[in-house]
Structure 1
Amino acid sequence: MSSCWELHGAAVLLRPVVKEDIATLDRIVREPEVAAWWSVPDDYDDMLAIVLDGQVIGAIQYDEETDPEFRHASIDIFLTTGRHGQGLGTDAVRTLARWLIHERGHHRLTIDPAVANTAAVNSYRKVGFKPVGIMRAYGRDYRTGGWADGLLMDLLADELT
C-alpha cells in the first residue's frame, strides 16, 4: 500500500492489511451475500482492512490513474454481511474518498458496483457518487455464472458529502 497508514472515519479505521487479517478476509469474501458480488482475491496486499472496535469487518482498495491527462482514483469495497446496512461501508468509502481527494490530490473518483447491487449503489450515493452510465455485461455475475451490468459512478472533489 502506498503512503496510507491509518485513516480514521466516524466509526471505522482503515489500515493496511496484515498477515493476521487474511483468514478473516478470506472468510468474509466467501459469505454468500459478499460472494454474490466479489471473487476471492489472489492477495490482499493492495487493500486496507476496515476495522471496527478492533475487529476486521471488511476491506477497501483503491487504484490511481497517474496519467495527468486522465488522473483519477477508483475504489472497491467489501464488508461482512453482519455489518451491512449500518452505514459502515458508507463511512469507509467516505473516509478513503476524503484521503484520496485531500491528501492524494484527486479531483475525481470512480466506483463501479453491479447494477443489481442496490444496497451498494445507495451507500455510494450517500457519499456523493453519481451514476454516470451502465456498462453492459461488465463483470462476472457470481450468482449466475454469466455476465452482469455494472453501474459506473463518479464523484467530483467538491461533491464529497
Structure 2
Amino acid sequence: MNARSGDLSVRPLEDRDKYTLSRWLSDPEVLAFYEGRDRPFSQQMVEEKFFSDRGVTGCLVEYEGNEVGYLQYYQLDHETMIRYGYTNLDEVIYGTDQFIGETAYWNKGVGTQLIRAVVEYLLQKEGVHRLVMDPMTWNTRAIRCYEKCGYSKARILQEHELHEGEYHDSWLMEFIPE
C-alpha cells in the first residue's frame, strides 16, 4: 500500500522498520493496547510476526515525515468469515489491525486520518464488499476513532483475544460502503 492523506503516508514495511517496531512493541504504554504488557517483543519476535509471509500486508505509517505507527491489512479467509458470522462466502471482506506506536501522537487525530486513508485505499480494490476490525470492547479510544470513520459495531466476539493473560471480548466493527 502506498497511500497519502495530507501529512500522513502509509508505505509497505521495509527491513529497516524492524528496529522501529521492536522499540514500539517493547513500550509498556503501547503494549497496554496492542499485544499486551506481558509480551514485549524481541527483535526475533518482530521478524517472525511482521516479516514472514502470512497473507498479511504490513505497512509503516508516517506523519509529517516521522514514523508513527503500524498498519496491516488482509482478505478474510472463509474460516474467519464463518467465525465472524458471515454466511455469504462470496463476499470480499478485508480486515485491518493498526496502532500508533509513538505515544506523543496519541489523541491528535492521526489515527482518524489513518483509518480514513486506509478505507479509501481498500475500497478502491475491486470487489471489496466490507471492511472489518476487532478492537477489544474496553478500548474506547480506538472504538470512537473507528466510529468517526464510518465503522459501526456489528456484534460482540466473546473471549476473542488473549491479552495480558486473559481472554477479552472484542467488537466486530464493520465499514460497509454505500
Q: Is the 8 A contact 1:29 1:78 kept in 2?
A: no
Distance in 1, matches of 2:92 and 2:127, equals 9
**Structure 1: stretches of 5+ with no match in the other structure:** none
Which residue is equivalent to 2:104? Answer: 82
Q: Report the aligned-residue RMSD.
A: 1.7
Aligned length: 152
**Structure 2: stretches of 5+ with no match in the other structure:** 36-40, 52-56, 79-88
Match of 1:17 among 13, 17, 22: 13
Identical aligned residues as a percent: 26
Which residue is equivalent to 2:176? Answer: 156
Q: Is the 8 A contact 1:11 1:88 kept in 2?
A: no
SS at match of 2:16: helix
Distance in 1, matches of 2:104 and 2:59, equals 19
Shift, 1:121, TM fit:
0.3
Distance 1:107 1:27, change over 3 A: same
Distance in 1, matches of 2:58 and 2:33, equals 17
Matched, 1:61 2:75: no
Matched, 1:95 2:117: yes
Distance in 1, matches of 2:10 and 2:168, equals 29
Ranges of 4+ aligned residues in structure 1 off by more than 4 Å: none
Q: Is the 8 A contact 2:72 2:96 kept in 1?
A: yes
Distance 1:155 1:138, change over 3 A: same
Shift, 1:66, TM fit:
6.8
TM-score by length of 1: 0.86
Matched, 1:70 2:91: yes
CA offset digits 1:14-69 (Å, max 9, x no partner): 00011111111111122223212323453323311001122211110111137761
Letter in 2 for 1:79: I
Q: Is the 8 A contact 2:132 2:173 kept in 1?
A: yes
Which residue is equivalent to 2:129? Answer: 107
Letter in 2 for 1:119: R
TM-score by length of 2: 0.78
CA offset digits 1:59-97 (Å, max 9, x no partner): 101111377613110111011222111111111111111
SS at match of 1:119: helix
Distance in 2, matches of 1:125 and 1:59, equals 20
